Amino acid sequence: MPSASDRQTILDAVLGSGAIAVVRMADAGRLRHVAEAIAEGGVSAIEITMTTPNALAVIEEVAREMGDRVQVGVGSVLDAETARRAVEAGARYVVSPVFKPEVIDEAHRQGVPAMPGCFTPTEILAATEAGADVVKVFPADIVGLPFFKAVLAPMPHLRLMPTGGVSLTNAGEWLRAGAVAVGVGSALLDKQAIAEGDWATLTANARTLRASVEAGRTG
């Protein structure tokens, strides 16, 4: 289990990647191959959602086998108990589609960052004041890029991460709009490639995403 002093180090590593791969898979057996392929392409932060079959066992396996090559997190967390169990399995950060203070508190008790999902400016600020390390704006495709600029204008201290509506090539635009990182799911994790075991395509997708992130940081 990470100590409280590790929390900022973990957060820096996750944000340093600029992108979190959001993994929702019916076939958990292929998930490790997916993690290896996208890590090879430069996306080292991987969020394994609790909607994945046997999610905790998968988190444990990926964390054990890949070690520091990836920052493994848990997603779709709805309660404190799930957060605790996921961190014990090896998750290094906790992501939720909603804002529940108990989840933030438990993640911090376990020494890892918390990234709750929010939608309105009021909710985003409330989550930040409750200790959220990053606020996941979800679903971001509903509000779009202008929302980020508008919210950050009066509250530039907020750390926002869009999930939903982020593509391999527009990630940089979200960063230029003020996001600290992006969450990417289906755009990165090509279902046909996964079904065919075409890991090279996933690696190429990850490289395209990384290029967009880097362009956004320097542009």
Asked if omega into 156 is within 30° of 0 (cis), the reply is no
Is 136 considered catalytic here?
yes
Beta strands in the chain (DSSP E): 19-23, 45-49, 71-75, 94-95, 114-115, 117-118, 135-137, 160-162, 182-184
Q: Which of 61, 100, 106, 136 is catalytic?
A: 136
Facing residues of 162 across strands? 137
Question: How far is the C-alpha of 108 from the C-alpha of 198, rounded, in Å?
Answer: 38
Active site residue 100: no
Catalytic residue among 47, 61, 106, 173: 47
Of all helices (H) and strands (E), which one includes residue 192? helix 191-196
Active site residues: 47, 136
